[in-house]
Amino acid sequence: MSNESWKSMFENWPEAIAKEGLLVTNFQEQIAFVNFLVSGDILLVERDRPDSYGARKVMLTYDSISALKITNPMELARFQVMGFQPPF
C-alpha cells in the first residue's frame, strides 16, 4: 500500500469504525493503538498501555506502515464505507 493510500485511509476513517487496531511497521514492530490523530505526513497513535520505555504515544510516517490489523470483530460489510467492496 502506498504512502498516500495509508494517509487517505487514516484521514478519512469513518466514525462507525472504532479508531483502534494494530500497526505493523516496516521494521516488523507491532504497535497496538486505541486512538489516533493525523497531521500532514505524520500519524500519532495512542496506546492504552505504555511500552517498555513508558511511551503511550507513537508518531510515525505513513511510509513506515507495512500493515494494519483490525482487532475489533466486525462483519466485512462494515468496511465498505472505507471503499472496500466484494470482487466482481
Walk me through the domains of the chain, giving residue ranges and CATH numbers: 3-73 (2.30.30)
Predicted TM-score (pTM) above 0.75: yes
Residues contacting 7, CB < 8 A, separation 6+? 38, 41, 62
Residues 62 and 43 sit within 8 Å (Cβ to Cβ): yes
Through-space distance between the first and last CA atoms of the chain, rounded to whole angstroms: 21
Tell me the per-residue pLDDT of 15-55, one tens digit each, with 9 for 90 and over: 989 999 999 999 999 999 999 999 989 999 999 999 999 99
Query: Exposed, middle or buried: residue 43 (CB in 10 Å: 0-12, 13-18, 19+)?
Result: buried
